[in-house]
Chains A and B, each alone.
Chain A
Amino acid sequence: MTETKASAPTTRISSFVLMVVFVVLALSFAALIFGVNILEQNSEASWILMLLGFFGVTLSTYVLFQTRRRLSKLKIVIPPVTTTIECKKCGFKNVREFQRGDYIFKEGENCQKCNEKMLITAIYREVKDKDKERLKPF
Chain B
Amino acid sequence: MCSEGEFVSITALMSALQSEVSQGPLGDTSVTWILNVLFYVIFVVFMFYGQRIQTYVMIREVEGSLYKLKYIKEEGRKIAIETIKEIGKPQTEPSTRVDRFLEYFTISPQTLDPAGVVWKLEHILDVRDTRFKDEVKLMAPAADETQANNLENTLEAAMALNFIYKVIRHYYLLGKKTLSLYIIMQIQMILPLIMKEAEAYASALKAFAYGQPIGDGAGALVAAKLMHGYETRKIAKDCVVATAPFEGRSAFVIKAEGPGGNVGKPGDAVKAVIEENEGKIAMVVMIDAALKLEGEILGEVAEGVGAAIGGPGVDQYKIEDELLKYHIPINAVIVKEDIGDAVSPMRKEVFDSVDNVIERIKQVVLERTKEGDKVIICGVGNSIGIGQ
**Residues of A at under 8 Å CB distance from B?**
1-4, 6-8, 10-12, 14-17, 34, 37-38, 41-42, 44-46, 48-49, 74, 76, 78-79, 81, 98, 100-106, 122-127, 135, 138
Contacts and interface: CB of A to CB of B under 8 A. Distances in A.
Contact of A1 (B224, B340, B350): B340
Nearest to B67: A11
A1 B200 contact: yes
28 contacts: A1-B199, A2-B202, A6-B68, A7-B64, A7-B68, A10-B70, A12-B67, A14-B63, A16-B56, A34-B20, A37-B20, A44-B13, A49-B13, A76-B203, A81-B210, A100-B210, A103-B213, A104-B221, A104-B385, A104-B387, A105-B228, A105-B387, A105-B388, A106-B387, A122-B351, A123-B345, A127-B347, A138-B295
Contacts of B56: 16
B211 interface: yes
Nearest to B297: A132
A123 B13 CA distance: 66
Given A10-B71, A48-B9, A104-B221, 8 more contacts: A11-B71, A41-B16, A76-B202, A98-B210, A103-B385, A104-B387, A125-B347, A126-B348
Contacts of B74: 10
Query: Dominant SS at the A interface?
Result: loop
Contacts of B64: 6-7, 11-12, 14
B203 A46 contact: no
B67 A124 contact: no
Interface in B63-78: 63-64, 67-68, 70-72, 74-75
**Range, interface on chain B:** 35 or more
A41 B12 CA distance: 11
B19 interface: yes
Contacts, number: 137
A34 B346 CA distance: 60
Given A100-B211, A125-B346, A11 B68 contact: yes
A124 B341 contact: no
B259 interface: yes
B206 interface: yes
Contacts of B202: 2, 4, 76
B57 interface: yes
A7 B350 CA distance: 31
Nearest to A49: B13
B71 A8 contact: yes
B9 A44 contact: yes
B257 to A, nearest CB: 12
Interface of B: 9, 12-13, 15-17, 19-20, 56-57, 60-61, 63-64, 67-68, 70-72, 74-75, 199-200, 202-203, 206, 210-213, 221, 224, 228, 258-259, 295, 340-341, 344-348, 350-351, 385-388
Contact of A16 (B17, B57, B75): B57
Task: Please list the 4 inter-chain residue pairs (A to B) with the smallest Cβ-Cβ separation, ordered nearest first.
Answer: A2-B203, A103-B259, A45-B16, A105-B387
Contacts of A6: 64, 68
A123 B57 contact: no
A1 B67 CA distance: 20
A1 B341 contact: yes
A11 to B, nearest CB: 4
Nearest to A8: B71
A34 B344 CA distance: 56
A100 B224 CA distance: 20
B20 A78 contact: no
A73 to B, nearest CB: 11
Q: Which of B70, B224, B345 has the most CB of A within 10 A?
A: B345
Contact of B213 (A17, A41, A45, A104): A104
Contacts of A102: 211-212, 385
Contacts of A15: 60
A12 B63 CA distance: 9
A124 B224 contact: no
Contacts of A17: 60
Contact of A4 (B16, B199, B259): B199
A1 B214 CA distance: 11
Contact of A103 (B57, B68, B200, B211): B211
